């Protein structure tokens, strides 16, 4: 797709690591439409084997007003929701999980 850049981020709640290799399949998907956001989609996935929730955010960075930002070390101890409120963000993810 020329001129269209998409960023996909996934935040997984739970553990996908297993002692032995197992197939992980998507059991259900639900599109969550953030109100008033153009260029951003959120999808909730329910995975099986083991049961896990995952969220995928797709952002079209060519849409005016859509951007990616990161916190500085001084604000890294805040929750994603707290940071989003202070920054005026509509979507915030904590992707520093490992």
* Per-residue model confidence as pLDDT tens for the chain (98 residues): 434 344 444 444 444 444 555 666 777 777 776 667 788 888 888 887 777 888 888 889 999 988 888 777 776 677 888 888 888 888 888 776 65
User: What are the φ/ψ torsions at residue 85 (nearest 5 degrees)?
Assistant: -60, -45
For the chain, the structural domain boundaries read: 6-87
Please state, in angstroms and rounded to a whole number, the distance separating the CA atoms of residues 9 and 61.
13
pLDDT tens track for 2-17: 343 444 444 444 444 4
Task: Give Cβ neighbours of residue 56 (< 8 Å, ≥ 6 apart).
Answer: 8, 9, 10, 42, 43, 45
Q: Is the pTM of this model over 0.85?
A: no
């Amino acid at each position: 797709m020329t001129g269209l850049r998409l960023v996909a981020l996934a935040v997984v709640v739970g553990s996908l690591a297993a002692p032995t290799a197992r197939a992980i399949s998507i059991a259900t998907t639900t599109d969550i439409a953030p109100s008033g956001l153009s260029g951003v989609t959120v999808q909730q996935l329910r995975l099986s084997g083991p049961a896990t929730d995952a969220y995928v955010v797709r952002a079209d960075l060519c849409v005016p007003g859509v951007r990616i930002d990161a916190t500085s070390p001084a604000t890294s101890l805040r929750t994603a929701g707290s940071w989003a409120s202070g920054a005026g963000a509509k979507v915030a993810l904590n992707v520093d999980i490992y």
